[in-house]
Amino acid sequence: MTSRRATIADVAREAAVSPSTASVVFSGKTPVSDATRRRVTEAATRLGYTGPDPRAASLRRGRSGIVGVVVGSTLNHLFLDPVQRLMMDGLAEAVAPFGAGLLLLRSSPEIENAPTLLTVPVDAAVLIGCDAPLRASLETAHLRGLPIVVIEGDAGDDVPRILLDNREAQRTAAAHLRGLGHTDVAVVTLRTSAAVAGGWIEPDAEITIDVTRERLDGARDVYPDAPALATAGSSIDQGVFAGRVLFADPERRPTAVIAQSDLLAAGVIRAAEEAGLRVPEDVSVTGFDGVPVDGLSPYELTTLVQAPTDKGRAAGAAVAAMLDGRAPASVLFTCTFREGNTTGPLPR
Amino acid sequence: MTSRRATIADVAREAAVSPSTASVVFSGKTPVSDATRRRVTEAATRLGYTGPDPRAASLRRGRSGIVGVVVGSTLNHLFLDPVQRLMMDGLAEAVAPFGAGLLLLRSSPEIENAPTLLTVPVDAAVLIGCDAPLRASLETAHLRGLPIVVIEGDAGDDVPRILLDNREAQRTAAAHLRGLGHTDVAVVTLRTSAAVAGGWIEPDAEITIDVTRERLDGARDVYPDAPALATAGSSIDQGVFAGRVLFADPERRPTAVIAQSDLLAAGVIRAAEEAGLRVPEDVSVTGFDGVPVDGLSPYELTTLVQAPTDKGRAAGAAVAAMLDGRAPASVLFTCTFREGNTTGPLPR
DNA sequence: TTGTACGCGTTATCAA
DNA sequence: TTGATAACGCGTACAA
């Protein structure tokens, strides 16, 4: 009923022990006699003390138990993608045993006063899909001496990276299509840069988003002249749009489509059905990611299976390592080719 | 190059001012002469000082700039739902001007040592979909004297709530169907409790999840005897499963389906197509939420439109109010009925 | 096993 | 406009 919240000093006084003893009872760092422990915990409940103030504890310890996750876009956009969702789960799971939680931060805070890596008590930072706007966060994190991990992006120097063999994997899928006899193949890509909305990719266009460039390179390793249509991001709807473009002219449509994500592939398939084409009899479609796509059920995509949750876990492990002062490992994950029922031999 | 990071005291010394002056230069709370300011900022850059340590600042200020968001399930599960995604965006947007970010916390930490509201320096807590496991978090938040806001859930007492007129809205949709002449109507519901996996809902079954119960009540206001099939959550796939059950027997299938979410409705429509039924000629389907469903494009759902982003913003505003010591407002949001092309008159 | 003493890095308050 | 002082609440050497 007092105006002020109880502190550990109050508890100690109430229990007639020293503050350090009371502290030890809560932290468990040092053995304490049962009698003392009980006295302290009872005093605590009597005073309504719920444990050390996390703010004070984190100052004292030099650790807050918070890992900042810097995302480039809105949460809605980010989490639309099952790959990101699973990755975040893996990340959360991997840092949880260290008592750490994930703090979401936007990289481009057009909002005045918005929280940043400079203002918020984080122990480490994870950057997702490191492109231009994220570089700034990288800078500030470096300045503050924060441990940093980058997922699917190039942070240059000695920052540990969690990467995927995008190019090699995509090449495998392309080779699979070539093996089936396809020669007219189109690529439906993820975003090519933070700003662009989509459209045909010119031969000399610069692609600033690594994933997109790498997967496209992989496809072009097999089909150097394959036309590529960029979307505004990984979603079924974007795949539908792209598919409609590809299948608009029945005379000149591709016989196979390499989509850079499973969501896009699902959309392309939908567009194919709209256009009266059967998959895979009339047109083959490959995806990328190997994640469950909500609503795709009759089909099982031919795709490259990655393990997004493991990727998140690896990022978490790297964070944990850096917090422990150990050297974090960069990790290159490998995709597995999985043949589903969305690819088949060249028609006719 | 010293081993230790520079503190504001170092900067003050280097600039030959007092620590408090240096502090004020960074916080901007008090006017400072230009000359002094420059001296301080220059000293700071010389020393590689990037601003006050957030941990120390938050201890001193008694505020960390972190809002804990307690979620019941995995992130993957939570963010599968566009309603939740948009809500989180609104929430993030509303607390950002206060320099606050969102920290994700799981309510049922089976992981040892996982972060909780007790261990993490949060200024306030937002509970999403407050059911049984969340009650515990509620308890601890109360104990710690944290401001709490509950979204779509009942926290009992004086906790501000962000609610939706679920029952009334659902009743409107049901009435719409009745107006079209439908009498054989089935309901496809969201989860009925944290644990249950789905199945026909017995008449006397207890439904612990508020949203589900309220929407079902609304449907039953018009169709008291409508059978209800529970799913394991809001997703297209779950809707497909439910739809297959409903349409399994051509002789006894409903002519209209009330789905408790747009995702479920999308799945039901997919199942209807599978079963060779046309929507809305053979079967009418209503949704709930009015959110863009990725991959639904040919259809426009007849649904109840809510404003999830606003809901999030309202929660954020409530948090902000409580942090300012003002009384937070509970808000009841209202859905709007929107007729799409998935409902039509009773066939024959 | 318990207690003493100190400082973690800031910032609010007040006086100059 | 600037400076001195005193917390904020805790953890941890170290000594007893």
How far apart are the C-alpha atoms of B286 and B301, rounded to whole Å? 6
What digits encode the pLDDT tens for the residues B143-189?
888 999 988 877 776 788 899 999 999 999 999 999 999 999 999 99
* Distance of alpha carbon B287 from the chain centroid: 18
Does the pLDDT of residue B2 top 70, yes or no? no
Give yes or no for A86 touching B (CB within 8 A). yes
Give yes or no for B225 touching A (CB within 8 A). no
Distance from residue A18's CA to nucleotide D13's C1', rounded to whole Å:
16
Q: Which long-range contacts (CB under 8 A, 24 or more apart) does A159-162 make?
A: A160/A318, A160/A322, A160/A328, A160/A329, A160/A330, A160/A331, A161/A330, A161/A331, A162/A311, A162/A314, A162/A315, A162/A318, A162/A330, A162/A331, A162/A333
- CB of B5 nearer than 7 A to strand C: yes
How far apart are the C-alpha atoms of B277 and B247, rounded to whole Å? 9
- Shortest CB distance from A96 goes to which of B114, B121, B235? B114
Residue B345 lies in a domain: no
Share the mean pLDDT of chain A: 91
Nearest CA in chain A to B83: A76
How far apart are the C-alpha atoms of A310 and A316, rounded to whole Å? 9
pTM over 0.95, yes/no? no
Residue pair B83/B308 in contact by the 8 Å Cβ criterion: yes
Whether residue A236 is found in the same domain as residue A108: no
Residue A1 lies in a domain: no
Does the pLDDT of residue B212 top 90, yes or no? yes
Does the pLDDT of residue A294 top 90, yes or no? no
Whether residue A171 is found in the same domain as residue A299: yes
Share the mean pLDDT of chain B: 91
How far apart are the C-alpha atoms of B322 and B324, rounded to whole Å? 5
What digits encode the pLDDT tens for the residues B67-87?
999 988 889 988 999 999 999
- Residue B140 CA: distances (Å) to CA of A48, A102, B62, B118, B119: 11, 20, 19, 7, 11
Segment B60-66 shows an average pLDDT of 94
- Residue A238 CA: distances (Å) to CA of A295, A312, B192: 15, 25, 33
Which of A170 and A328 is assigned the larger pLDDT? A170
Nucleotide closest to residue B35 (CA–C1'): D1
Residue A342 lies in a domain: no
Segment A25-37 shows an average pLDDT of 87
- Tokens representing B133 are 């496991």
Whether residue A105 is found in the same domain as residue A214: no
Residue B186 lies in a domain: yes
Confidence of residue B131 (pLDDT cuts 50, 70, 90): low
Residues within 8 A of A (CB atoms), B 139-178 only: 140, 143-145
- CB of B47 nearer than 7 A to strand C: no
Segment A88-102 shows an average pLDDT of 94
Whether residue B194 is found in the same domain as residue B92: no
Does the pLDDT of residue B334 top 50, yes or no? yes
Residue B278 lies in a domain: yes
* Distance of alpha carbon A26 from the chain centroid: 35
Whether residue B277 is found in the same domain as residue B319: no
- Shortest CB distance from B79 goes to which of A79, A102, A111? A79
Residue B344 lies in a domain: no
How far apart are the C-alpha atoms of A329 and A149, rounded to whole Å? 10
Smallest CA–CA separation between B224 and chain A, in Å?
Answer: 31
Count CB-CB contacts under 10 A for residue A217: 15
Which of A131 and A165 is assigned the larger pLDDT? A165
- Tokens representing A16 are 């007639």
Q: Read off the DSSP letter of residue A329.
A: P
Residue B3 lies in a domain: no
Does the pLDDT of residue B25 top 80, yes or no? yes
Give yes or no for B300 touching A (CB within 8 A). no
Does the pLDDT of residue A122 top 90, yes or no? yes
Whether residue A66 is found in the same domain as residue A99: yes
Question: Domain containing A241: what range?
Answer: 166-306
Does the pLDDT of residue B130 top 70, yes or no? no
Give yes or no for A112 touching B (CB within 8 A). yes
Whether residue B152 is found in the same domain as residue B268: no
- Percentage helix, strand, coil for chain A under 3-state DSSP, each rounded to 5: 40, 15, 45
How far apart are the C-alpha atoms of A7 and A57, rounded to whole Å? 12
The CATH number of whichever domain residue B213 belongs to comes to 3.40.50.2300
Which of B249 and B107 is assigned the larger pLDDT? B249
Distance from residue B169's CA to nucleotide C7's C1', rounded to whole Å:
59
Residue type, A249: D
B238 Cβ contact list (under 8 Å, min separation 6): B198, B231, B232, B263, B264, B267
Residue pair B99/A115 in contact by the 8 Å Cβ criterion: yes
Q: Would the CB atoms of A111 and B98 count as touching at under 8 Å?
A: no
Task: Give percent of chain B with pLDDT exceeding 90.
Answer: 74
Segment B190-216 shows an average pLDDT of 89
Total count of domains within chain B: 3
Whether residue B272 is found in the same domain as residue B151: no
- CB of A19 nearer than 7 A to strand C: yes
How far apart are the C-alpha atoms of B290 and B115, rounded to whole Å? 35
How far apart are the C-alpha atoms of A215 and A188, rounded to whole Å? 10
The CATH number of whichever domain residue A14 belongs to comes to 1.10.260.40
Q: Which nucleotides of chain C does any protein CB come within 7 A of? A: 1-13
Give pLDDT, residue A132: 67
Does the pLDDT of residue A226 top 90, yes or no? yes
Residue B189 lies in a domain: yes
Give yes or no for A64 touching B (CB within 8 A). yes
Distance from residue B88's CA to nucleotide D11's C1', rounded to whole Å:
36
Does the pLDDT of residue A211 top 70, yes or no? yes
Give pLDDT, residue B214: 96
Q: Which residues make up the interface with nucleic strand D when CB must lie under 7 A?
A: A 4-5, 7-9, 19-20, 23-24, 26-27, 29, 52-53, 55-57, 59-61; B 16-21, 24, 30-33, 35-37, 56, 59-60, 62
* Distance of alpha carbon B20 from the chain centroid: 42
Whether residue B47 is found in the same domain as residue B12: yes
Does the pLDDT of residue B17 top 60, yes or no? yes
Residue pair B10/B47 in contact by the 8 Å Cβ criterion: yes
Whether residue A231 is found in the same domain as residue A261: yes
Taken in order A165, A168, A172, A178, the sign of the CA dihedral is positive
Smallest CA–CA separation between A178 and chain B, in Å?
Answer: 29
Does the pLDDT of residue B253 top 60, yes or no? yes
Give pLDDT, residue A2: 44
Task: Give percent of chain A with pLDDT exceeding 90.
Answer: 72
Confidence of residue A3 (pLDDT cuts 50, 70, 90): low
Whether residue A312 is found in the same domain as residue A246: no
Whether residue B65 is found in the same domain as residue B109: yes
